[in-house]
Amino acid sequence: MKKQNLIFLPLLLATQLSLAGSYTDTATVVSVDKVYSNHVIREPYQDCYIKEVYQGGGDGSATNEIIGGIFGGLIGNQFGDGDGKKAATVAGTLLGASLAHDDELANSKNGQMVRKEICETKYRTNSERRLDHYRVEYEYDGRTFTYTTQRKPYSDTIKIRVNVSPE
């Protein structure tokens, strides 16, 4: 039994010493000020309008020119021998691609003006003033202190923790 007392006695003393340095008391609230901050709000919206655009007959890709170059190269490869055969293949490739390109340009002249709806996302910006926190000024033992809080104190007094320690 005495061994248990010897073990718990230092623990009890340490607890008493740590609690002896602080206590709870009340202080008088002197003022409560609302502190505001500005918040910027970006609100998206759609801005749509009608625009006339020229729509040509071509599809805008290089597929026709590539296919024309391949067929031209195959036909040019049928002519000549040795280096002449290579030159005829290159000439056929270039001629086939050029003919396909010219055909696409001729078809694009058959284009027309088309009305299209264009929509863009834009943003409205508003600045809004919002309550951010409260700045509370209180008096204790003839001295004035302040703190900030999210909740407004509803009483003329607040509970405070007082810590006492040697210098």
> Partners of 129 in the beta sheet?
38
In a domain, 7, yes or no: no
Q: What 8-state DSSP symbol labels residue 151? A: S
| Cα gap 125→129, rounded to integer Å | 13
Q: Both 137 and 166 in a single domain?
A: yes
In a domain, 15, yes or no: no
Find the angle CA(20)-CA(24)-CA(27) to the nearest 5 degrees: 140
Mean pLDDT for the stretch of residues 130-141: 95
What is the span of the domain harbouring residue 92?
58-110
Q: Both 104 and 133 in a single domain?
A: no
Q: Is the pLDDT of residue 88 over 90?
A: no
Mean pLDDT for the stretch of residues 107-127: 83
User: pTM of this prediction?
Assistant: 0.43
In a domain, 78, yes or no: yes
Q: Which residue has the higher pLDDT, 59 or 73?
A: 73
| Cα gap 65→101, rounded to integer Å | 6
| Cα gap 58→60, rounded to integer Å | 6
